[in-house]
Chain A
């Protein structure tokens, strides 16, 4: 289960709309307790894909993710997940998303239709990496 606030929800939607028509991405900082993750802030990261690919792809450089991990630790928090946007595409993980995902993290996807955010969903990868399962979002 993922625990979110309306403020975090709004911040991710704004990031998706600001990034449109490209995909935005970033890390979710918070705390993990067993299968429950609580997000306390988002950490936006630049999409490092070539600009003509950013409409349907994102990549985070190892250097940027290393800095995100260090910043989370500095704040006494953990990286509990990743968010990204799907411009003009449903808020469901693609096969490409699954191939590049890791178990444990919450993967938030926000769909952005013609510049306006629509659905925000969260997904978890199974331990065998075979499939994504929709994660329940609980609102704080």
Chain B
């Protein structure tokens, strides 16, 4: 059982520049844990101190956000593509009135 984990450019400094990784996993959580075990420096960019996934990281299996399918417990099948997607926002003013 292997999934392909797609690493966004912003996180590749932590994966030796690798764009994608083959990871054996049966759930999204297992895949992300395996990634963090292989590349420990990536942990603080993925998890809060509490162990929760950081709010600005979204994970997709194929084109489906795991928020709608049970989060890290979402099952993955052989050949699935798991993608880490950072949240992107900004704006001109410092103070939000």
A residues within 8 A CB of B9? 32, 78-80, 104-105
**Residues of B contacting A67 in the complex (Cβ-Cβ under 8 angstroms):** 63
- A-side binding surface: helix, strand, loop or mixed? mixed
Which chain B residues (82-97) contact chain A, with CB distance < 8 Å? 83, 85-94, 96
Most B Cβ at <10 Å: residue of A23, A63, A65, A66: A66
Q: Chain B residues near A23 (CB, 8 Å)?
A: 91-92
Q: How large is the interface on B (under 10, 10 to 19, 20 to 34, 35 or more residues)?
A: 20 to 34
From residue A10, how far is it (CB to closest CB) to chain B in Å? 22
**Is B92 within 8 A of A59, CB to CB?**
no
Assess whether A95 is interfacial by the CB under 8 Å rule: yes
| Closest CB in chain A relative to B9 CB, distance in Å | 5
User: Are A96 and B94 interface neighbours, CB within 8 A?
Assistant: yes
Q: Determine the residue in chain B with the shortest Cβ distance to A27.
A: B88
Q: Is the CB of A94 within 8 A of B94?
A: yes
B56-90 interface with A by 8 A CB criterion: 56, 58, 60, 63, 65, 83, 85-90
**Which of A1-9, A83-91, A114-122 lies at the interface with chain B?**
A83-91
Tell me if A135 counts as interface (CB < 8 A to partner B). no
Kindly count the residue-residue contacts between A and B in the assembled complex, taking CB atoms under 8 Å apart: 94
Interface residues of A in 61-109 (CB under 8 A from B): 62-63, 65-67, 69-70, 73, 78-80, 82, 84, 86-87, 89, 93-97, 100-105, 107
Q: When chains A and B are docked, how far (Å) is the Cα of A135 from the Cα of B91? A: 19
On whether the beta carbons of B83 and A97 are closer than 8 Å, the reply is no
A6 CB to closest chain B CB, in angstroms?
A: 24
Instruction: Pick the residue among B60, B65, B88, B92 that contacts A56 (CB under 8 A).
Output: B92
**Any A CB within 8 A of the CB of B38:** no
11 A-B residue pairs with Cβ-Cβ distance under 8 Å, sorted by A, are A32-B9, A57-B90, A57-B92, A59-B87, A67-B63, A89-B93, A93-B90, A97-B91, A100-B56, A101-B90, A107-B90
Contact of A59 among B13, B83, B88, B93 (CB under 8 A): B88
